[in-house]
Chain A
Amino acid sequence: MLAFAIRRLFEAAFVMVTVALIAFVVFRFVGDPINQIVGQDTSIEDRLKLREELGLNDPIPVQFARFLANAARFDFGISYQMKQPVTAIIAERFPATLELALAAAIFAVGLGIPMGVYTGINRDSWLSKIFLTVSLIGVSLPTFLIGILLIYVFSVWLGVLPSFGRGDVVRIGVWRTGLLTTSGLKALIMPAVTLGLFQMTLVTRLVRSEMLEVLRTDYIKFARARGLPERAINFGHALKNTLVPVITVIGLQLGAVIAFAIITETVFQWPGMGLMFIQAVQNADIPVMAAYLLLVAFLFVFINFVVDLVYVRVDPRIRILGRPT
C-alpha cells in the first residue's frame, strides 16, 4: 500500500512538473512579457532595467526554478488584462466554480443512480427505454446547445429562471457563496443541470450495466431463494456491489466537470474560473492561462491520486503487483 502510494505520488509529481514546464514555456516565450507590461512610450533603458529586475536575463533553468518556487507559493504574477495579481482574481472566482461543480455532481449522482437502478431492474419497461433514449441524446448533444435550449425554455419562454450570473451572493469570510439566497439558488439550477447532464447519463449507464451484471450472479439467486423482499435484494445486495466502479468514475469525472465548466460558465456568464480562462484565451492573457493550467492540473492529479488510493482501499481484490506495463 505504501509503496503503491509513493509510486503514484512520483507519477503525480512528474505530471505536475511537465505541466509546469509547458506553462513556463508558454509564459516565457509567447510574446514578450515586457511588452505586455509596459506601454508604448517606455524608453529602451527602462525596458532593459525592468527586464533585469524581473530576472528575464537569468539562465533559463534558473528562471524555471523561480517560476516553480513562485507557483508553489501561489504567486503567478500580474494579469496583463486586468492589472491585478492573478492569485487575487482566482481567489475571487474559485468559489463560484466549486459551488457549480459540486451542485452538478450532486445532480448527476442524485438522479443518475436511481435512474440506473430502475433501468437495471426493469430492463424492458417503456420508462427504461425513455430514460436510455434521453441519455443517448444527452451524450450526443454538445453542452452549450443544452444550455441554450434550457435558457430558451426557462428564461425566454417561461421566464421563471435567470439566464445569467450568480444572483445575490453572501460573503462568509473570504468565501462568497450563492447558496444562501433564493436568487442565488435559482441561478444555480440551470448551469448545474447543464454541467451535470453528461455525467448523469454516464452514471445511469454505468449503474445499469453493473446492476445487470450483479443481478445475474449466484448470491442474488440465493437471496431470492431465501425469500428476501425484492427491495432488500435490489438495494441491500445488488446496488451495494455496483458502487465501487461508480465511486471511481464519479471521482474521475469531477475533474472533467471542472474542465467542462468553461463551456457552461460561458453560456450562463457564470463568474467562475472557466469564464476567466476563456477571457484570458481571447485576450492572450498568458499569466492567467498559466495559473489556470497549473491549478486545474493540480486538481486533476490530486483527484486521480485520491481515487487510486480509495479504489485500492475499498476493493481488496485489487492486487498491486509491481509496475504495470
Chain B
Amino acid sequence: MRAADSPAPAQPSAAAAAPPLPQRGGNAGARRSRLAAFLDSDLLHSFLRSKLVVLAALVSVAIVGAAFLAPVIAPHDPYDLKSLSLLDANTPPAWEKGGDPSYLLGTDDQGRDILSTILYGTRSSLQIGICSVLLASALGLSLGLWAGYVGGRVDTFIMRIADVQLTFPAILTALLIDGVALAILKHHTIEGGKFSILVLAIGLSFWVQYARTVRGVTLVERNKEYVEAARLIGIGPLKIMFQHILPNVLGPVLVIATINLALAIITEATLSFLGVGLPPTEPSLGTMIQVGNKYLFSGSWWMVAFPGFTLALLALAVNLLGDWLRDALNPKLR
C-alpha cells in the first residue's frame, strides 16, 4: 500500500524499500539508484575528461591514504616523547649538508621527524575537517529541513539567526567560539578537549550555508504531491522530512560539503597557526607552520616549507574537486 501510494518518480526507491528496515533500507536503496545513475550519467565522463580534476583526485586520495596509514608508514612516532632527543633538533633534510638519512625531511625544534609529524598532522587536520563538516551539515540539514517544512515562526527565527551569523566571516565566528570555549575551560584540561572545541567552533561557523540551501529546496518539495500523499496516509512530519524530502536535498549538500571540507581544513590550520588550535604536543599542519615560522630567520626553512606545501596541496586538490562537482552537478552554472 505504501509503495502504491508513492506516485512521484523521484521517490520510488525510498518508499519501495521501506517495509523491512525503514531507515537503513531507504538509504541503501537511494544509494544504489544513485550509483546506477552515476555510472550512466555524464558525471563520470566529465570527470575523466578533465586531466586536472583526475590529478586533483589522485593527489587527494594519496594524501588521505598517507594520513590514514600514518601509524603504519611513518618512520617515527612524533607522539612518543621517549624517542625524541633534543640532540636531533633542527636537523636539515637528508639531502642538505648535515642531514641525517633517517630523518628524510629533517626535524623540528624538539627533534621530531618532520615527515612523520606531517603524516600525523595531516591526520589530525583531516579528522577535524571531516568531523566539523559532518557537524555543520547535520546541523544545517536538520535546521533547514525544519525551517522549510514547518515554516512560520520557526522558519523566521532560524533564518534570522542565519542572517545575523552570515553578517560575519566564518573565521571570525570560529575564532570567537574557540576563544569563549578556551575562556570557559581555562582552568580545566580535558582529554581531547582541544579537538572537540575545534570541531565545535568550525562546525558551528559553517552551518548557515547548508541550512539556507536545504530550506530553499524543502520549500519547493513540501508542496509536491508525494509529500502530500505521505501526509495523507498519516506519516509523521519527522519521517516525511528525513525519509522523503532528505534524499532530494542531498545533491546540493554534497557539493557544499566538498567545498567546505577545504575551507574547514584551512580554518583549522589558521586557528592552529594563530595559537588557539591544536597544541604543539599534538601538532596539526597549522601548528607545525606556526612553530616553524619562529625559526624562519635562523634558516630552518624545512620546518615551514614541507607542512606548508602539504597544506596548500591538500586545500588546492579538495577545492578543485569541489569546483568540478559543483559544475558537474549543476549544468545551469556554466
Partners in one complex: yes
A284: interface (CB < 8 Å): yes
The reply to whether A15 and B164 form a contact with Cβ atoms under 8 Å apart is yes
Size bracket, chain A contacts: 35 or more
Q: Find chain A residues with CB under 8 A from B270 CB.
A: 142-144, 263
Q: Find chain A residues with CB under 8 A from B178 CB.
A: 281
Size bracket, chain B contacts: 35 or more
A304: interface (CB < 8 Å): yes
- The interface stretch among B8-16, B102-110, B182-190, B242-250 is B182-190
**A135 vs chain B, min Cβ distance (A):** 12
The reply to whether A140 and B312 form a contact with Cβ atoms under 8 Å apart is yes
B179: interface (CB < 8 Å): yes
Q: Which residue in chain B gives the minimum CB-CB distance to A155?
A: B297
**A199 vs chain B, min Cβ distance (A):** 12
Q: Chain B: interface secondary structure? A: helix
The reply to whether A296 and B172 form a contact with Cβ atoms under 8 Å apart is yes
Given contacts A19-B164, A262-B274, is CB(A142)–CB(B311) below 8 Å?
A: yes
**A216 vs chain B, min Cβ distance (A):** 13
Q: Which residue in chain B gives the minimum CB-CB distance to A278?
A: B274
Q: Which residue in chain A gives the minimum CB-CB distance to B156?
A: A325
Q: Which residue in chain A gives the minimum CB-CB distance to B179?
A: A281
Report the bound CA distance from A297 to B165 in whole Å: 10
The reply to whether B269 and A142 form a contact with Cβ atoms under 8 Å apart is yes
A266: interface (CB < 8 Å): yes
Question: Could you tell me which residues of chain B, from 184 to 215, have a CB within 8 Å of some CB in chain A?
Answer: 184, 186
Task: Choose from A15, A267, A278, A286 the contact partner of B167 (Cβ within 8 Å).
Answer: A15
Report the bound CA distance from A300 to B169 in whole Å: 10
The reply to whether A301 and B167 form a contact with Cβ atoms under 8 Å apart is yes
Q: Chain A: interface secondary structure? A: helix
Report the bound CA distance from A136 to B324 in whole Å: 13
B308: interface (CB < 8 Å): yes
The reply to whether B262 and A259 form a contact with Cβ atoms under 8 Å apart is no
A56: interface (CB < 8 Å): no
B304: interface (CB < 8 Å): yes
B60: interface (CB < 8 Å): no
Report the bound CA distance from A143 to B273 in whole Å: 11
User: Can you add 7 more A-B contacts, CB < 8 Å, to A26-B180, A142-B273?
Assistant: A15-B163, A30-B184, A140-B319, A143-B270, A281-B274, A281-B276, A293-B176
What are 28 contact pairs spanning A and B, CB under 8 A?
A14-B164, A15-B163, A15-B167, A30-B180, A30-B184, A136-B316, A140-B319, A141-B316, A142-B266, A142-B273, A142-B311, A144-B270, A144-B273, A145-B289, A148-B304, A149-B308, A152-B304, A156-B299, A260-B169, A267-B293, A281-B175, A281-B274, A281-B276, A282-B182, A284-B182, A286-B183, A289-B176, A297-B167
